[in-house]
Amino acid sequence: MILDYLNPANYDWKLILGGAGLIILKLIGIIIAFLIVKSIGKRVIQNSFKKVVDRENISLGRARTLESLSLNIFSYVLIFIFVVMIFEIFDYDATALLASAGVIGLAIGFGAQGLVSDIVTGFFLLLEKQIDVNDYVTTAGFSGIVEAVGLRTTQIRGFDGTLHFVPNRQISSLSNHSRGNMRALVDIGISYDDNIDQAIEVLQSTCDRIAAEDDSIKEGPNVIGVQSLGSSDVVIRVIAKTENMGQWAIERKLRKALKEALDSNGIEIPFPHQVYIEKKSE
Amino acid sequence: MILDYLNPANYDWKLILGGAGLIILKLIGIIIAFLIVKSIGKRVIQNSFKKVVDRENISLGRARTLESLSLNIFSYVLIFIFVVMIFEIFDYDATALLASAGVIGLAIGFGAQGLVSDIVTGFFLLLEKQIDVNDYVTTAGFSGIVEAVGLRTTQIRGFDGTLHFVPNRQISSLSNHSRGNMRALVDIGISYDDNIDQAIEVLQSTCDRIAAEDDSIKEGPNVIGVQSLGSSDVVIRVIAKTENMGQWAIERKLRKALKEALDSNGIEIPFPHQVYIEKKSE
Amino acid sequence: MILDYLNPANYDWKLILGGAGLIILKLIGIIIAFLIVKSIGKRVIQNSFKKVVDRENISLGRARTLESLSLNIFSYVLIFIFVVMIFEIFDYDATALLASAGVIGLAIGFGAQGLVSDIVTGFFLLLEKQIDVNDYVTTAGFSGIVEAVGLRTTQIRGFDGTLHFVPNRQISSLSNHSRGNMRALVDIGISYDDNIDQAIEVLQSTCDRIAAEDDSIKEGPNVIGVQSLGSSDVVIRVIAKTENMGQWAIERKLRKALKEALDSNGIEIPFPHQVYIEKKSE
Amino acid sequence: MILDYLNPANYDWKLILGGAGLIILKLIGIIIAFLIVKSIGKRVIQNSFKKVVDRENISLGRARTLESLSLNIFSYVLIFIFVVMIFEIFDYDATALLASAGVIGLAIGFGAQGLVSDIVTGFFLLLEKQIDVNDYVTTAGFSGIVEAVGLRTTQIRGFDGTLHFVPNRQISSLSNHSRGNMRALVDIGISYDDNIDQAIEVLQSTCDRIAAEDDSIKEGPNVIGVQSLGSSDVVIRVIAKTENMGQWAIERKLRKALKEALDSNGIEIPFPHQVYIEKKSE
Amino acid sequence: MILDYLNPANYDWKLILGGAGLIILKLIGIIIAFLIVKSIGKRVIQNSFKKVVDRENISLGRARTLESLSLNIFSYVLIFIFVVMIFEIFDYDATALLASAGVIGLAIGFGAQGLVSDIVTGFFLLLEKQIDVNDYVTTAGFSGIVEAVGLRTTQIRGFDGTLHFVPNRQISSLSNHSRGNMRALVDIGISYDDNIDQAIEVLQSTCDRIAAEDDSIKEGPNVIGVQSLGSSDVVIRVIAKTENMGQWAIERKLRKALKEALDSNGIEIPFPHQVYIEKKSE
Amino acid sequence: MILDYLNPANYDWKLILGGAGLIILKLIGIIIAFLIVKSIGKRVIQNSFKKVVDRENISLGRARTLESLSLNIFSYVLIFIFVVMIFEIFDYDATALLASAGVIGLAIGFGAQGLVSDIVTGFFLLLEKQIDVNDYVTTAGFSGIVEAVGLRTTQIRGFDGTLHFVPNRQISSLSNHSRGNMRALVDIGISYDDNIDQAIEVLQSTCDRIAAEDDSIKEGPNVIGVQSLGSSDVVIRVIAKTENMGQWAIERKLRKALKEALDSNGIEIPFPHQVYIEKKSE
Amino acid sequence: MILDYLNPANYDWKLILGGAGLIILKLIGIIIAFLIVKSIGKRVIQNSFKKVVDRENISLGRARTLESLSLNIFSYVLIFIFVVMIFEIFDYDATALLASAGVIGLAIGFGAQGLVSDIVTGFFLLLEKQIDVNDYVTTAGFSGIVEAVGLRTTQIRGFDGTLHFVPNRQISSLSNHSRGNMRALVDIGISYDDNIDQAIEVLQSTCDRIAAEDDSIKEGPNVIGVQSLGSSDVVIRVIAKTENMGQWAIERKLRKALKEALDSNGIEIPFPHQVYIEKKSE
């Protein structure tokens, strides 16, 4: 009697097959829908990138990286939804699958949110051209030359030779020192007893001589005036615009030349001063 | 026997087609509803912007940017809801789609919340005219001239030539130094032995002379009195109002002129003082 | 055969129209319910504001702003619930709409929570009269005169002319310097060799003279005694109460007067002292 | 044919009215349940407060404020649940209402959690009597006299006249300086050459004299010994207990008296010392 | 016709009463289940506390407090679940109740999480005996004598008389200075010209004398050697173990005695030294 | 008529009992499933610990603690799921129970997450042998000897006698000073006028003598060269490796010996130098 | 009558067995699906690792560790979903299981997110070769030699012998000092009176001599010019590139050699200067 139920003839094949037909129809519908969504999505992504590349002058290699990343993420999401729907159709309650995914996803999400954050930031670092290999940048407390920009990590070579690995999410704001001319700035103190006008004249003529000699100077150097009245000296500021990365050499050159010019004109760069008032010991 | 069920004649076409009719009706209902919502929404957004532009004196270009952003977001949200409802109607359990979207959305949301935060802040930066290209601002620890204000990132050119990329979400509060006249402030110390009244008189007359000479001064400069009794000097404060961005030049000019005025009137700018009491070595 | 199903005569119009009747009844019920809720809600809000205005002495303009904000938010919430219920009735599974709204809402919520936080804080800033235009306040690291208080942003004009835009959520605690008389405080150091009683007498008599001369002084100034025994001087503290914003002028006036009074009574304001013990070089 | 369905006679009134009967029964059940819950809840809250007031010596006014707050919150929660259940009964799918409420609630919750946090903290500030108007407290970086304690904000008047508005949630820990006698502490340095025992004797006898003169001193002042061996002086510490808020006056009095006592006994309060070793210039 | 439906005879009383029977059965089941759970839970809690008290030597009063807290929380949770289940049985969709509770709970939870956190921390502070009334502790930036330990707040009396209210959640880590002997530490500098061995001998013999005199010293004091070579002196460190709270008195005693011992042995405690090289003025 | 329904004969006992049979079957299924899961889980946990203990050389006592903790947590989770499923079977909608648990769990979770965090960290502190009783560690801003390592709290005895209670979650990173030899480091400054080679020779020979005398030195001490050119002295660095906890004694010994060696070789440890240039008073 | 229902003959075996057949079919479907998913997933993971290993030059041992971790996690997730689905099929409402898992998961998730975060970071530390055993790194405030890199914790041996245990999540950014040549940098100050050109010449020739002698120098050392005009000296900077870890020895060597070279050429390394102006005591 029990074995009867293993006898296929006893099952309501009509209902089962009717359901099967419906399943097949649904399946076909889904597959078609997703093929359409996928090809449209792909084309939309590719076109957006083409437009952005044209408009923003992004190098082809960089655009490829970003495009392939976008396509990958798009595919993963689509496949995930596709799998869920297939399960649904075959009547294995997909909520089980989904809820599991949810619980696991949440658990990982809390721990791994840094990872997503890294990739999102990395994406925009590349897209907005904030950073290029060989740029001199300051970010997240590190300064140095960029060696590599990845989707998760950026590598910065410090000037002392250290290689800093910076997760992109740490790059909250970024200072790029390789985007245009830089300023060279020298503060030089003269004595309160010296004539300010004469000192400025001496300094300016030295500046002009150096400007003539050195091609890496783009503007100035100019003496802009009395920056502060220090406790022992009158501080005079000199600023110039130089080629990128040339600012330190120019500053060193200026410091030496200005010091020597003041020396040879008898203008004192004063040591700290103090007035002494003597009083008898009690 | 099995093949019977592939025979269309065996299906209950009435029920299926009746369902089809209902689906088509629902579909039409949804499409109409959304067309209405879309056109109303669009008009509402456009009108709000028109009003805001009129009332707030926002430049047309800026208003366009914000309006197109608002319309885009509105469309994306509408399309998302539309797609979800279509799926619902075709009886593919939309919860699968939605839950997937939820899981993925949450995962990304944790990582990418910074992005949304950037755009929201950027929207208000533009709408409230807190910032304009070429403004001199201080925000997020950076100071400089604004080069570009985007929805995600603001670019600030530091005075040393560095280009700072600041994600808008980092702009928690913003100090705009290009909104009106600026103050020039000079503190100058005189000796405890000098007569304060005489010193103030000398300084004020110099201030008046400079005010007459220089058009970028809007108010003052005025000697406002004894700011502090320092350890070695009596500090006198001079303040003026100048044209925007002219404050540093005026301060430099004032420092030089006031120092020379005190010199020529025999008033001492004192070095640090110390009283020495000698005691025999033990 | 298939076309039969497009023939209206074949549909169960009774069931459909019965459903339609139910829908219309439900619709009417909802509309009535919401009209009632809305008018009650409106009246409740208006009455609360009337009460608050009476009790708290809030200016009418400010109350209007807050009332209209409250009514707006109330309306938006009601309309949102209304739309959701309408959808429900027309049997478009509103969960789709709602879940979509939820996903989007959550995504935005994470990013835009700052915005809600701004408005909530702004609401209470206005309601509790913590801040008024032209108040001199310190908050979020900025000091200055309030130029505008908005629901999202507060504008503070720094004394150097900078305009600070502070999102309200940054205003965690707020120091208002424009709510009553202010204290003027001058610390003045006399020599260890001078007689403290005599010095206090000289300082107090000068204080009394100034109090008599200047109307902006509300209390004092009084010499309150030896504030500290410094390394080179005995510090005596003088405090006064002045009109709001008059404290700096009084302090400057006091500093000058007290210094001159000590000078003319032969009491020394000492420079830093040091005892020197000579020892032969090793 | 269509109009038939508007003919009431065609509806199954039996089913509808049976449902109506059920609804009315349910409604009555709910109303009764909530009236009971409300009156029980109210009595429980009132009794708890009565007990707490008796046990904790809370002033009646303060207890009233807290009780009415508790009753209000309890009522709002009850009404919210009541409304939701009514909707449920009338078969308007309450989930719509609830989900809406959830979405909105979450959105606001993220932004306004500070508000709830303020009220919870405010509640306990009042209940635990941590703070009273006119107390001198230090909290959240501010010091001053409490002017008002609200459920959301506490107002502290700084000693310089500034009024600080501190949201209660900022009051993480609170230092109340108005709960008992305060300590007056004076550190006084004597020369390394002086006899420590003699100095202590002089200081102690001065302390005793002042203790006899001044009623606001509750204990001491006592010389407790050599607090540190400074670079130029031996530091001797004197401490006393005074009436609340009297500590500063006593400290000032002590400083003056101890300095004069040391002077008149020939004990030196030394200036900074330095040993000089001369060496020929290279 | 309509009134017919109010005629009880027309209702299917069999079904209704059958349902009523089921409800009553369920109700009885639930009540029994909960009575069992409650009595088991209560016994489990009481037994755990008995065990813990035996093992951990917790004072009876403290154990009572913790036990009654645990029982209270257990009861509230049980009652809440009980109420929800009762509602469920009476077919008022309990999800409404629950969802409401959820929304409200979440809203409050965000704001009031500090409160739960306070209680959890307070529970363990008491259970683990980290803190006792009259202990001298340092925590959350405050130091002083514990006056009260509550479930929400701990009161610490600072040495200057201030009463600090510290919410327990602020007590992340806690330093208890009243759990055993304390160290007294004195650093004393001698001249570079003095013989180190002789100085150590003098200091050690003084230490031994004091150790003999004072009972509150438990170990030492011992001269442990040259702690550092300062810029002007050779620093020698002396350490001792004293009775709890006796460390400061011993340190003061040691400082005085060691200074006098060095004086009477002709060993110098040097002032800061400096080598002077004279150079002609330029 | 009504009483009929209390007559058992009127109930459909077949259906009820059939349901009962199903319930019993389900119940048996669940109990079997859980007995299997429990015994498998237990064995898996025990085996993992056996493996870990073998591989990682964990002391037996420590492994027991961790194993029993793991088994406890495993049991609690299983029991919770078991109870939920039982309820489900008896048709009391377990969602009520679960949702209640969820609401309460969330509420507590927010407040008590620190507790779970403590236990997780404590588990790994023990498992990874980062810390042992009597180790000298630095963590969470505290330094001292570990007195006890619990699952929630670690007790560290500071060198001044204070007992620090550190919740494990505060132990983000941990520095263990009791895992191997330690470095002794002495920096000693010589005069710019002295011969560096000679000084190094003198220092090295002293180091060699001490190395020969003291067994707690494991390596060196060696003079490694000129560490810096200070403003007044040439700093020479000496480093050694010593037995654990012996580093301070060796450093003190080295300081004394090196100072005496330099003295006896006529090499100066210089005081701060300053060059004086005299100028006439103005 | 009741016993009848325990009589198997009375049950509808057809329905039960039909259900059983369906369950078996579903079960087979699930098992097949998961076997496929598992083997595909495994192959995908293995292939990805093969590719990554080839492309990124990761050592085989490290790749094995990462691969086995990935396979483990993949298996656990699969088994969890498998178990949930089995339960579902056997009609024990899996939501109970799931919801329980959810509640527990959330509770633990909040506390243990640090653990997941540790593993994720550890995974990438290994994959991206940021760190190797024996590297000299700086991260999370610790510097030292890496002793072990685990999935949860990294062990760093500080130079003073301390072993630092750093949870990987603390390693936000990482500075690796063992990736290439390092810079040696020496700043040396000469007198304002000395000739800068001559000093540079002397320093450069010394540098050249050392470069010739020492193989660990890779570049330079070179005198790059006047780095700053100090208050008492003109600071000249010398930089070199050395073998990794050789920078400190080279710096020490350079400091000694440069100091001696300046000495033997009569160029002064100046002590701090001060100008003294004498004034009569008042």
pLDDT digit string, tens, across residues E144-175: 999 988 878 899 999 999 999 999 888 888 99
The whole-number pLDDT of residue D197 equals 92
- Residue-wise pLDDT tens digits, B221-249: 999 999 999 888 999 999 999 999 999 99
Task: Using pLDDT thresholds of 50, 70 and 90, give the confidence band for residue E124.
Answer: confident
Mean per-residue pLDDT, C143-161: 90
- Whether E271 contacts chain C with CB within 8 A: yes
DSSP state, residue G270: P
The whole-number pLDDT of residue E7 equals 55
- Whether F280 contacts chain A with CB within 8 A: no
CATH code for residues B11-111: 1.10.287.1260
The DSSP H or E segment spanning B144 is: strand B142-149
Contacts of A240 (CB under 8 A, 6+ apart): A183, A184, A207, A211, A217, A218, A219, A220, A221, A222, A250, A254
DSSP characters over C134-200: T-EEEETTEEEEEEEE-SSEEEEE-TTS-EEEEEGGG-SSEEES-SS-EEEEEEEEE-TTS-HHHHH
The dihedral built from the CA positions of residue A67, A69, A70 and A74, taken in this order, carries a sign that is positive
- Planar angle of CA F100, F106, F111, nearest 5 degrees: 135
Task: Using pLDDT thresholds of 50, 70 and 90, give the confidence band for residue D261.
Answer: very high
Cβ contact F205:F215 at 8 Å: no
Higher pLDDT, F99 or F268: F268
> Phi and psi dihedrals of D265, rounded to 5?
-105, 10
Hey, is E224 helix, strand or coil? strand
Cβ contact A24:A90 at 8 Å: no
CA–chain centroid gap for G256, Å, is 37
> Phi and psi dihedrals of C60, rounded to 5?
-60, -40
**Is residue D164 scored above 80 in pLDDT?**
yes
- Whether E252 contacts chain D with CB within 8 A: yes
Determine, for residues G271 and E277 on separate chains, whether the beta-carbon distance falls below 8 Å. yes
CA atoms within 13 A on the CB side of D201: 7
Mutate to test the interface with A, among G110, G275, G276 (most CBs of A within 10 A): G275
Which residues of B fall within a CB distance of 8 Å from D275?
281
CA of D277, closest CA in chain C: separation in Å?
5
As given in the structure block, the two tokens for residue C245 are 């914003």
Interface of G with F in 149-168 (CB under 8 A): 150, 152-153, 157-167
For chain E, where do the domains classified as CATH 2.30.30.60 start and end?
132-176
Cis amide prior to F221 (ω within 30 degrees): yes
Q: Specify the residue for token string 């002007």.
A: E232
Determine, for residues B227 and C4 on separate chains, whether the beta-carbon distance falls below 8 Å. no
Determine, for residues B161 and A176 on separate chains, whether the beta-carbon distance falls below 8 Å. no
Distance of alpha carbon A164 from alpha carbon A143, whole angstroms: 9
- Burial track D15-30 (b if 16+ CB lie within 10 A, e otherwise): eebbeeeeeeebeeeb
Mean per-residue pLDDT, B80-98: 62
Hey, is C278 helix, strand or coil? strand
Which residues of F fall within a CB distance of 8 Å from G232?
275
Distance of alpha carbon F245 from alpha carbon E228, whole angstroms: 18
**Is residue B158 scored above 80 in pLDDT?**
yes
- Residue-wise pLDDT tens digits, B18-42: 566 777 777 787 788 888 888 888 8
Cα-Cα end-to-end distance for chain D: 124
**Is residue C267 scored above 80 in pLDDT?**
yes
Cβ contact F171:F125 at 8 Å: yes
Task: Using pLDDT thresholds of 50, 70 and 90, give the confidence band for residue G97.
Answer: low
CA atoms within 13 A on the CB side of F44: 8
**Is residue C13 scored above 80 in pLDDT?**
no
- Whether D241 contacts chain C with CB within 8 A: no
Cβ contact G148:G125 at 8 Å: no
Contacts of B40 (CB under 8 A, 6+ apart): none
Distance of alpha carbon A95 from alpha carbon A88, whole angstroms: 8
The complex's ipTM works out to 0.81
Cβ contact G274:G201 at 8 Å: no
- Whether A271 contacts chain F with CB within 8 A: yes
Which residues of F fall within a CB distance of 8 Å from D279?
273
CA of A80, closest CA in chain B: separation in Å?
8
pTM reported for the whole predicted model: 0.82
Cα-Cα end-to-end distance for chain C: 124
For chain D, where do the domains classified as CATH 3.30.70.100 start and end?
182-264
Distance of alpha carbon E115 from alpha carbon E112, whole angstroms: 5
Q: What is the dihedral of CA C249, C254, C255, C261, to 10 degrees?
A: 150
Backbone Cα Rg of chain D = 35
User: Out of D15-24, D197-206, F10-19, F141-150, which region has the weakest mean confidence (pLDDT)?
Assistant: F10-19
CATH code for residues C132-176: 2.30.30.60
Q: Whose CA is closest to F271, among D273, E270, G233?
A: E270
Q: Whose CA is closest to C278, among D276, B261, G92, F34?
A: D276
DSSP state, residue G90: T
Which residues of D fall within a CB distance of 8 Å from E96?
81, 84-85, 88, 94, 98
Which residues of C fall within a CB distance of 8 Å from A279?
273
- Whether F2 contacts chain E with CB within 8 A: yes
Determine, for residues A281 and C271 on separate chains, whether the beta-carbon distance falls below 8 Å. no
CA of C227, closest CA in chain D: separation in Å?
6
Fold of F182-264: Alpha-Beta Plaits (3.30.70)
User: Out of B127-141, D232-246, E76-90, F237-251, which region has the weakest mean confidence (pLDDT)?
Assistant: E76-90
Cis amide prior to C272 (ω within 30 degrees): no
Interface of E with C in 48-77 (CB under 8 A): none
> Phi and psi dihedrals of E83, rounded to 5?
-60, -45
The whole-number pLDDT of residue C211 equals 92
Which residues of B fall within a CB distance of 8 Å from G277?
271
Q: Please write down the HEC assignment for all residues of chain D.
A: CCHHHHCHHHCCHHHHHHHHHHHHHHHHHHHHHHHHHHHHHHHHHHHHHHHHHHHHCCCHHHHHHHHHHHHHHHHHHHHHHHHHHHHHHCCCCHHHHHHHHHHHHHHHHHHHHHHHHHHHHHHHHHHCCCCCCCCEEEECCEEEEEEEECCCEEEEECCCCCEEEEEHHHCCCEEECCCCCEEEEEEEEECCCCCHHHHHHHHHHHHHHHHHHCCCEEEEEEEEEEEEECCCCEEEEEEEEECCCCHHHHHHHHHHHHHHHHHHCCCCCCCCEEEEEEECCC
**Is residue G218 scored above 80 in pLDDT?**
yes
Determine, for residues B105 and C107 on separate chains, whether the beta-carbon distance falls below 8 Å. yes
CA of A277, closest CA in chain C: separation in Å?
9
- Whether G182 contacts chain A with CB within 8 A: yes
Mean per-residue pLDDT, D211-216: 90
Distance of alpha carbon B217 from alpha carbon B251, whole angstroms: 11
Q: Strand ranges (DSSP E) for C209-272? A: 217-229, 234-242
Cis amide prior to B8 (ω within 30 degrees): no
- Whether B19 contacts chain C with CB within 8 A: no
The whole-number pLDDT of residue A5 equals 47
Distance of alpha carbon D23 from alpha carbon D5, whole angstroms: 25
User: Out of A21-30, C51-60, G66-75, which region has the weakest mean confidence (pLDDT)?
Assistant: C51-60
Task: Using pLDDT thresholds of 50, 70 and 90, give the confidence band for residue E282.
Answer: very low
Q: Specify the residue for token string 């533009």.
A: B126
As given in the structure block, the two tokens for residue G92 are 């024990």
Q: Whose CA is closest to C90, among C18, C8, C20, C12?
A: C20
Task: Using pLDDT thresholds of 50, 70 and 90, give the confidence band for residue G282.
Answer: very low
**Is residue E64 scored above 90 in pLDDT?**
no
The whole-number pLDDT of residue G52 equals 72
**Is residue F115 scored above 70 in pLDDT?**
yes
**Is residue D258 scored above 70 in pLDDT?**
yes
**Is residue A224 scored above 50 in pLDDT?**
yes
| Mean of per-residue pLDDT scores for chain E | 81
User: Out of B199-213, C113-127, E179-193, which region has the weakest mean confidence (pLDDT)?
Assistant: C113-127
User: Out of B124-128, B174-178, C111-115, D214-218, which region has the weakest mean confidence (pLDDT)?
Assistant: C111-115
Task: Using pLDDT thresholds of 50, 70 and 90, give the confidence band for residue D262.
Answer: very high
Give alpha helix (H) positions in chain G.
Answer: 13-56, 60-89, 94-127, 196-213, 247-264
Distance of alpha carbon F251 from alpha carbon F259, whole angstroms: 12
Higher pLDDT, G40 or F74: G40
Nearest-Cα residue of chain E relative to residue D100: E103
User: Out of A211-215, A248-252, F96-100, which region has the weakest mean confidence (pLDDT)?
Assistant: F96-100
- Whether B277 contacts chain G with CB within 8 A: no
**Is residue A92 scored above 90 in pLDDT?**
no
- Whether F90 contacts chain D with CB within 8 A: no
- Residue-wise pLDDT tens digits, A49-79: 777 777 766 666 677 777 777 787 777 777 7
Nearest-Cα residue of chain F relative to residue A193: F282
A136, β-bridge pairs: A145
The whole-number pLDDT of residue G24 equals 78
Task: Using pLDDT thresholds of 50, 70 and 90, give the confidence band for residue F282.
Answer: very low
Distance of alpha carbon D18 from alpha carbon D27, whole angstroms: 14
